[in-house]
Amino acid sequence: MAKLFQKVLFIAGFLLLCVPGMVLADDLAATCQQIAANPDTSCQNLSAGDCRALLEQCANYYDSQSAQIGKDLTKTQQQKNTLQSQITTLKKKVQGLEAQINQGTLMVKDLNLKINDTQTSIDKTTSQIQSSQTQIATILKTIAKEDQKPTFVILLEGNISDFFSNVAYLESLNGKVSDLLQSTTDLNTYLQGQQQKQQDEKGQLQHVIQIQNLQKQQNLQTKAQQEANLKLTEVQYQQQLKDKQTADQKAAAIKNRIFSLIGVANAPTFGQALQIAKYVSNITGVRAAFLMAVLTQESNLGQNVGQCYVKNTQTGDGVKIKTGVFSPKTMSPANIPVFLTLIDTINKGKGTLRDPLATPVSCVVYYNGRPYGWGGAMGPAQFIPTTWVNLGYARRVTAITGKVADPWDITDAFLANGLYLKDLGAQTSEFQAAMKYYCGNSCTSYDRFYGNSVVGIANQYAADITAIGG
């Protein structure tokens, strides 16, 4: 039992080292970084199938990284908006306090003027009081002097009635002056009360202005801090933008390499493939992202897609391109005549000398260790020869492009793929179209993996297209 357990551990370790699809999560970032940094050497020791699996894993890694950074960008943008809103609010508060301070300062100035005017009035009434008091003192002295005159003096001076009239006048004058003194004194008291009230109001206003100035300074300090935070957040936002662009660029570069593994001599970049897909979408009405998803899925179905040659035109057996090892059931004998005629037609139409026995087609898929079905699918869209020719897709492509249809030409492959998917109802249901594309009308529940995979890839491509503004 112990030896068996050791064997299991050894096999598991070997698989982890040898199978790219089983790269540990901790090592994935370093592995993908190495692939992105060294695109020409990263797959030297891997088969085409294993290389594709690893590239897809890294493309998904960078897509996931880009999506997470996108979420962080949204949060950072929200933080920026919040800080900007707070800064705007604080700015309005400072402006409001400045208006209140200016208003209060004007009111203090007005009160100072009123206090000065009241003081002038107080000084004037004080002077009037002093004058009235002086007049009263003079009148009282005069009356007292008159009262002290002896009778004989009054008689000697002449008219007694003039004397009494003079005394009565002086007493009347004294009464009037006394009334004036009282009213002036009351006015003076009132003015002093008003002046004290104005002084109190001025003091309160100055206290309010002092508080408002403190609030203004606090708000200015907070505003300055928030502006500093906004600058830091903006720096973070710009860095996140750069990180996202880097992740998108790495994902796109890796996806471009996946395209280069599908057996096309001049594989397009992701951007070029997108332009072709848009062109086909305009003709067929099938979504560009879905077209690209089916092509991507098809190019990766089975083992070593596009890595076999047909060598026996009677049995359909062939060989592996890289190793020359025998590969059975490379193409169904029923398809071989159509295949040979197609290559001849392409050679004549393009003036080429393509050898049908040296033209890449898909190898047979192995299931449970045994070959399942037949290989022989052609080009990026993986058309079987009879489907390409007998069902009229070659003719329909030629009618649109005006040249001989070539399933290994990326544009022709996209176009035929779009026409086929349109015929399968992709404009109504992409999932059902993908299922029919894969297994016709004999799909089982097990085959749903294909439709789900294509839809998932299409959604990711749609996100990529949106990200690059396509």
Task: Pick the last residue of a domain from 253, 281, 315.
Answer: 253
- Domain end call among 233, 253, 273: 253
14 token code pair: 């070997």
Q: How many CB atoms lie within 10 A of CB 263?
A: 23
Residue 7 within any structural domain of the chain: no
Neighbour-count burial for 224-249, b at 16+ CB within 10 Å, e otherwise = eebbebbeebeeebeebeebbeebbe
256 against 46, higher pLDDT: 46
Whether residues 95 and 237 share a domain: the answer is yes
Same domain? 361 vs 240: no
Domain assignment present for residue 368? The answer is yes
More confident residue, 51 or 460: 460
Task: Examine the domain organization and report whether 219 and 314 are in the same domain.
Answer: no
Query: Beta strands 308-310 and 365-367: pairing type?
Result: unpaired
Please give the residue range of the domain that contains residue 426.
Answer: 265-467
Q: How far is CA 10 from CA 4, 13, 24, 416, 430, in A?
A: 10, 5, 16, 48, 44
Domain membership flag for residue 58? no
Q: What is the pLDDT of residue 20?
A: 38
Does residue 280 share a domain with residue 241? no
Which own/partner pairs from 443-451 qualify as long-range (CB within 8 Å, at least 24 positions apart)?
Answer: 450/297
State what percent of residues in the chain have pLDDT above 90: 24
Are 287 and 422 in the same domain?
A: yes
Same domain for 201 and 286 = no
Q: What is the pLDDT of residues 362-390, one digit of tens each?
A: 898 887 788 888 999 998 888 999 999 99
Per-residue pLDDT tens for 95-113?
887 888 888 788 878 878 8
Tell me the average pLDDT across 13-19: 34
Span 312-341, mean pLDDT?
94
Structural domain total, the chain: 2
Residue 49 lies inside a defined structural domain of this protein: no
Which CATH number does the domain housing residue 375 bear?
1.10.530
Query: Are 273 and 421 in a shared domain?
Result: yes
Residues 409 and 288 in one domain: yes
Q: What is the pTM of this model?
A: 0.47
User: Which pLDDT band, with edges at 50, 70 and 90, does 430 fall under?
Assistant: very high
What's the CATH number where 246 sits? 1.10.287
- Going through 56-112 in order, the beta strands assigned E by DSSP cover none
